[in-house]
Amino acid sequence: MNILESLLGQDAAGVAQQVGRQFGLDESQASSALTALLPALVAGFHQRAANPSGLEALEAALRGGQHRSYLDDLQSLGRPDAVNAGNDILGQIFGSKDVSREVARRASTQSGVGADLLKRMLPVVAALAMGALARRRFGQPSAQAGMVPAPGTSAAGGGLLGMLAPMLDANRNGTMVDDIVGMIGKAMGGR
């Protein structure tokens, strides 16, 4: 199971189709782009959640946002509010547009999709990832998704960190995630 399937469950194919339509990619290219971008986002969420104040902010954002709606209505990903929400998420987890640019550049190398297109995709993918985390963290997702909240998610901290950690190596390729975690850690200065 790759990180796309790990995070989105049975929604992964529909998400890849929608993202592909939105950005002019076929489903295979969109899936490759998503698979290349998601490890950095999950690593950013994990890095943020490893700090008590960051964990509190992330939990509040998961509870307070309408992130799950992006998975319930995939066409909503094309709306400006989805991009704005995604940019807010990127600001919280990466802290710098330079980190987002580097994530896109590295994902381009891995996926074969252009870095400029990946930069435009990144906010949408961030909104999707946040929606998937909110769904897994706080409630039974739609029957279509076929997922249940991760075990132990009722306890703040351990639950969210425990949910994120296995996703960091979901694709088991060992290439991008370690570099991204290090890059994010440096850029965030241990926030």
| 25-56 pLDDT, tens digit each | 999 999 999 999 998 898 888 888 888 888 88
Query: Could you give the count of Cα atoms lying within 13 Å of 24 in the half-sphere of its Cβ?
Result: 5
Please tell me the distance from the alpha carbon of residue 59 to that of residue 156, in angstroms, as a whole number. 8
CA-based nearest residue to 122, from 82, 180, 170, 75: 82
Contact 153, 160 (CB under 8 A): yes
**pLDDT tens digits along 138-173:** 764 443 344 344 444 433 444 555 555 555 544 444
Distance from C-alpha of 98 to C-alpha of 14, rounded to nearest angstrom: 30
Which of 57, 56, 6, 42 has the alpha carbon at shortest distance from 181?
42
